[in-house]
Amino acid sequence: MATVAVFFPLPVAKEAFYNTPVGRWPYVGFLRLRQLASSKQRSTAMSRSVGVAMDAAGADADQARLHQLGYRQELKRGLSVVSNFAFSFSIISVLTGVTTTYGTGLRYGGPVSMTLGWLVVSAFNGCVALSMAEICSAYPTSGGLYYWSAKLAGKEWAPLASWWACTTSVDFSLAQLLQVIILLATGGANGGGYMASKYVVLAIYSAILILHGLINSLPIHWLSWFGQLGAFWNVAGVFALTILIPAVAKEKASPEFIFTHFNTENGMGVHQNAYILAVGLLVSQYSVIGYDTSAHMIEETKNADWSGPMGIITSVGLSTMFGWIYLVTLTSIVVDIPYLLSPDNDAGGYAIAQALYTSFHRRYGTGAGALACLGVIAVAVFLCGSACITSNSRMGYAFSRDGAMPLSRVWHRVDSREVPLNVVWLSVAVAFVMALTSLGSQVAFQAMVSVTTLGLSFVPGPFNLGKYGVLVGWVGVVWVATVTVLFSLPVAYPVANKETFNYTPVAVGGVLLLSVGAWVLRARFWFQGPITNTSDGPI
């Protein structure tokens, strides 16, 4: 609106200028030019004033709404609706999710569990996203799910409901991908290529984390640029790979194979078809998570109660579309599942890397093109990891603002550029500690799914589902409960050692045990859920 207001007078001034008889009456023309210039300056100044006033009004409305929820405006509101969407789209990053988990889907169910399973999962994920968007519009705070859970659970249960937080990172998968790229670039596993040890992979991971910490130490307008770059890179990358991969591959899978083939030979001792399919669906679920980032960036977004919900919905919708296209493209070059999954192949069992390497090598006699494709994917993973730290740091900021963390005053601080610098580096440190478990054993990817909480009642924001809100919300709740169980199922039988044991129940159970224990023994005496930092509290 401000842009339109600024430029609207310009065509009028230009037309008046060309109708001025400057050539016939130089003096009159000169006076007319001065008049037009003065008029133009006044019009432009007025338009700019209107634009500034509109921006100020929007900023005041956002600040007032945040004040109603009990918080002062401490972070800089520098994000547009596009920037807010870009953060969620970048953190979902279908190039990241699909590529890094494709081997799991190929092993459990194969093509049909991913290509058709993606559509099923997307329908349920859409319900979760819509409910989250509705609640985000009503409660536009950086606390996101933590704050919503507290408010919707009611005053009595608010502290317990909100005593939970977690951090996730895709940086370890990037370190593993870089390991595979190095392996293939140096000759492959069967050609004397360099296979990095788990300590080297951890060192690569640490370097990536430090880079992400440095990026997230920048002001919000720079983070906005990285978020938009991530969104653009994912779209451009999917388009490029979708065109390039089928053009290069000499051998392609048939449509029947892509959409109907069900792989039961997983080599993990799992034989029941329904069980295999259920585990395979988790690939699609993992590939479209992280859209709650729009909520965590909400206090830095203009027109927050509308822009945030739009960021959630559009990021999920576009990720669903682009992800399915990319997934089908990758599956089109899958012609030998056992070989792609074999640890004895050139990529050391990394299915997608091997499929790309084989396709380019058969066409050109070299795998350099495959390395370029993997490089495109690696950049997407890097930008996704940066957005993860951004999201985690804002969640930590909101959590510490309510005094819910040890040394909350330290983590809640923002620097002179309005950046929560301390909690950014806390997020980096926590992510590093979580990765130390990789030294004990190679654990399968785990994902925490955002939960839509339905409580007693709430006043809806500008975006709401009306009478369908409760139905859509319950569909989302049932789906989240279902995938939570699926994530905890054993993925190999017999469960005899640390290599075949699914550590997800232990990890989740451990976090819940520590959280509940801390709550019962101590936190319930001092932590009262979301608190206010304004003089008059929430309205």
User: Spelled out in words, what is the top-level CATH class assigned to the domain 75-525?
Assistant: mainly alpha
Of 205-214, 285-294, 426-435, 469-478, the poorest mean pLDDT is in: 285-294
**pLDDT, tens only, 115-129:** 999 999 899 888 888
Give whole-number Cα distances, 212 to 220, 384, 393, 397, in Å.
Answer: 14, 10, 12, 17
Sorting pLDDT into bands at 50, 70 and 90, what band is 86?
confident
What number of other Cβ atoms are within 10 A of residue 362's Cβ?
Answer: 13
| DSSP letter for each residue of 91-144 | HHTHHHHHHHHHHHHHHTBTHHHHHHHHHHHHHHHHHHHHHHHHHHHH---TTT
Q: Is 373 a residue whose pLDDT tops 90?
A: yes
- Average pLDDT rounded to a whole number, residues 224-235: 90
Angle at 352 between CA 348 and CA 356, to 5 degrees: 100
Q: What is the pLDDT of residue 439?
A: 57
**pLDDT, tens only, 423-433:** 899 888 888 87
Q: Is 223 a residue whose pLDDT tops 70?
A: yes
**Pick from 494, 465, 470, 180: nearest CA to 340:** 180
183 neighbors 193 (Cβ within 8 angstroms): yes
Q: Is residue 301 classed as helix, strand or coil in its secondary structure?
A: strand
What number of other Cβ atoms are within 10 A of residue 368's Cβ?
Answer: 13
**461 vs 444: CA distance, rounded Å:** 39
Q: Is residue 150 classed as helix, strand or coil in its secondary structure?
A: helix
Structure tokens at 81: 């609706």
Give whole-number Cα distances, 107 to 266, 280, 355, 505, in Å.
Answer: 5, 8, 14, 21
Cβ neighbours for 399, distance < 8 A, ≥ 6 positions apart = 143, 146, 165, 405
Please tell me whether the peptide bond between 343 and the residue prior to it is cis, using omega within 30 degrees of 0.
no
**Pick from 93, 82, 80, 382: nearest CA to 236:** 93
Task: Count CA within 13 A, CB hemisphere, residue 328.
Answer: 17
Structural domain boundaries in the chain: 75-525
**pLDDT, tens only, 484-498:** 777 666 665 565 555
338 neighbors 351 (Cβ within 8 angstroms): no
